[in-house]
């Protein structure tokens, strides 16, 4: 790899990390109003429906959060690997 690839690696890494952070922020904003209680009285059916909707949204975004986290980890490994390979090449090449 040439040194012209380094900015592309860093830009790709930054984009993936920003997407991951945005997904985490969105998930956090969804769970902010989540209650950890059980609604036994039929008078609270509206609150139960709201909580069920929140859980549904969180569950639907969870695969994207996991994928973004995996991509962030993989891209971090690629960037670190590039610098380790470059250092190895300079030391022993």
Q: Hey, is 13 helix, strand or coil?
A: helix
What is the model's pLDDT at position 90?
93
Q: What is the pTM of this model?
A: 0.80
Question: Does 40 map to a domain?
Answer: no
Domain containing residue 11: 5-35+45-92
What is the model's pLDDT at position 17?
97
If one counts the domains in the chain, the total is: 1
User: Could you tell me the CA-to-CA distances from 16 to 35, 39, 54, 56, 73 in Å, in that order?
Assistant: 31, 39, 25, 25, 10
What is the model's pLDDT at position 20?
97
pLDDT tens-place string over residues 1-47: 667 889 999 999 999 999 999 999 999 998 887 666 666 677 778 88
Question: Does 58 map to a domain?
Answer: yes
pLDDT tens-place string over residues 36-90: 666 667 777 888 788 888 889 999 999 999 999 999 999 999 999 999 999 999 9
Q: Where are the beta strands (DSSP E) in the chain?
A: none
Question: Does 86 map to a domain?
Answer: yes
DSSP state of 84: H
- Angle at which helices 45-92 and 5-31 pack, to 10 degrees? 160
């Amino acid at each position: 790899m040439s040194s012209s690839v380094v900015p592309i690696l860093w830009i790709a890494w930054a984009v993936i990390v920003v997407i991951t952070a945005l997904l985490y922020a969105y998930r956090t904003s969804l769970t902010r109003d989540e209650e950890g209680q059980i609604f036994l009285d039929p008078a609270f059916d509206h609150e139960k429906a709201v909580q069920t909707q929140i859980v549904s949204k969180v569950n639907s975004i969870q695969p994207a959060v996991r994928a973004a986290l995996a991509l962030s980890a993989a891209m971090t490994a690629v960037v670190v690997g590039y610098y380790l390979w470059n250092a190895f090449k300079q030391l022993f090449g």
